[in-house]
Amino acid sequence: YLATRVCKEWDLCAPHAILLEAGGVLTDLWGKVPVYNQPGPAECRGLLASNGQVHDQILEACAPLLHMLER
Q: Please state the domain extents for the chain.
A: 2-69
The closest of 30, 27, 26 to 66, measured between CA atoms, is 30
Q: What's the CA gap between 70 and 66, in Å, rounded?
A: 6
**Over the chain (71 residues), what is each successive 10-residue block's mean pLDDT?**
72 92 94 85 78 95 81 52
Fold of 2-69: D-Maltodextrin-Binding Protein; domain 2 (3.40.190)
pLDDT in tens, 50-65: 999 999 999 999 998 8
CB 12 within 8 A of CB 47: yes
